[in-house]
């Protein structure tokens, strides 16, 4: 990077906290998003996939064009926000109005749950409700041990519930406690959803409601 490149300071809002960023000429929104992901890897619910996010100008709520350099879209001192890119909700679902995530412990893959019921399993076009699979474990090294419709997460009366859909074991590990899910059970932040007898572990996380 040439030391004489012009730099412009902006403010970046990241899940409710504001950070200073110095932009160089030619930097695009996707390149800044990749830099943010690299810099803030300690945020447990931050995905490693840049395509999961977009940048928005806070003053106009305008989504920045991914292909154009940031400095052609922003002026000195502008304030932008990193936002999760919300998908179109599948048929048969409703929006999950809480910030709910699952982290696969082996790969650190982050799954943001946008809808309910959010099915955990494997994608299969031959089965019904395939579009409701929110956590597709087909590519996991133990994926074949996971039922195509293994479990699902939904909200009832403000509680986030894990429901077993398979005769194969679904467990919740809560510290030293192990809960066999027969029917449904309430989830708490930090719980590990244990599938395939410990070969797949999904950590349940919630982002505080006050953050965007």
Tokens of 64: 């920045």
Q: pLDDT tens digit string along 139-191?
A: 998 888 999 999 999 999 989 999 999 999 999 999 999 999 999 999 999 99
Q: Are residues 111 and 137 in the same domain?
A: yes
Q: Are residues 105 and 123 in the same domain?
A: yes
Q: Are residues 99 and 197 in the same domain?
A: yes
pLDDT at 211: 57
Collapsing DSSP states into helix, strand and coil, what is residue 212?
Answer: coil
In a domain, 211, yes or no: no
* Distance between CA atoms of residues 84 and 150, nearest Å: 26
pLDDT level of residue 4 (50, 70, 90 thresholds): very low
Q: Which residues contact 8 (CB under 8 A, 6 or more apart)?
A: 22, 23, 71, 74, 76
| Residue whose tokens read 């579009």 | 131
For residue 168, what are the CA distances in angstroms to 26, 135, 153, 164, 165?
52, 17, 17, 9, 9
End position of a domain, from candidates 41, 58, 84: 84
For residues 85-96, average pLDDT? 95
The 8-class DSSP code of residue 72 comes to G
For residues 91-118, average pLDDT? 95
Q: Are residues 13 and 107 in the same domain?
A: no
Q: Are residues 99 and 117 in the same domain?
A: yes
pLDDT at 185: 97
* Distance between CA atoms of residues 37 and 22, nearest Å: 16
Q: Are residues 109 and 175 in the same domain?
A: yes
In a domain, 143, yes or no: yes
For residues 51-69, average pLDDT? 93
In a domain, 89, yes or no: no
CATH number at residue 172: 2.60.200.20
Q: Which runs of E-coded beta strand occur in 29-180?
A: 53-57, 79-84, 94-104, 109-116, 118-121, 133-136, 149-156, 159-164, 170-174, 177-180
CATH number at residue 72: 3.10.20.90
End position of a domain, from candidates 65, 84, 103: 84
Number of domains in the chain: 2
Residue 19's domain spans which residues? Answer: 7-84
Collapsing DSSP states into helix, strand and coil, what is residue 33?
Answer: helix
End position of a domain, from candidates 84, 108, 140: 84
Is the separation of the CB atoms in 19 and 9 below 8 Å?
no
| Residue whose tokens read 């074949």 | 144
Collapsing DSSP states into helix, strand and coil, what is residue 111?
Answer: strand
Q: Which residues of 16-33 are buried (b: 16+ CB within 10 A; e: fewer)?
A: eeeeebebeeebbbbbbb
Altogether, the residues listed in the chain come to a count of 212
């Amino acid at each position: 990077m040439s030391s004489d490149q012009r730099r412009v300071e902006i403010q970046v809002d990241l899940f409710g906290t504001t950070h200073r960023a110095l932009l160089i000429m030619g930097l695009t929104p996707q390149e800044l998003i990749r830099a943010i992901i690299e810099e803030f890897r300690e945020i447990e619910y931050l995905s490693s996939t840049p395509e999961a996010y977009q940048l928005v100008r806070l003053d106009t709520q305008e989504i920045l064009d991914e292909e154009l350099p940031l400095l052609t879209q922003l002026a000195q001192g502008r304030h932008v926000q990193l936002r999760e890119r919300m998908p179109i909700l599948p048929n048969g679902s409703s929006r999950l109005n809480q910030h709910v995530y699952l982290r696969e412990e082996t790969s650190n893959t982050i799954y943001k749950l946008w809808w309910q019921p959010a099915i955990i399993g494997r994608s299969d076009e031959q089965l019904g409700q395939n579009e409701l699979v929110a956590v597709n474990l087909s590519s996991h090294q133990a994926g074949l041990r996971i039922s195509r419709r293994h479990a699902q997460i939904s909200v009832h009366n403000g509680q986030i519930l894990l429901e077993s859909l398979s005769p194969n074991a679904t467990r919740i590990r809560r510290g030293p406690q192990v809960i066999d899910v027969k029917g449904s059970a309430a989830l708490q932040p930090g719980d590990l959803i244990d599938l395939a007898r410990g070969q797949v572990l999904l950590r349940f996380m919630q982002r505080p409601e006050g953050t965007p």
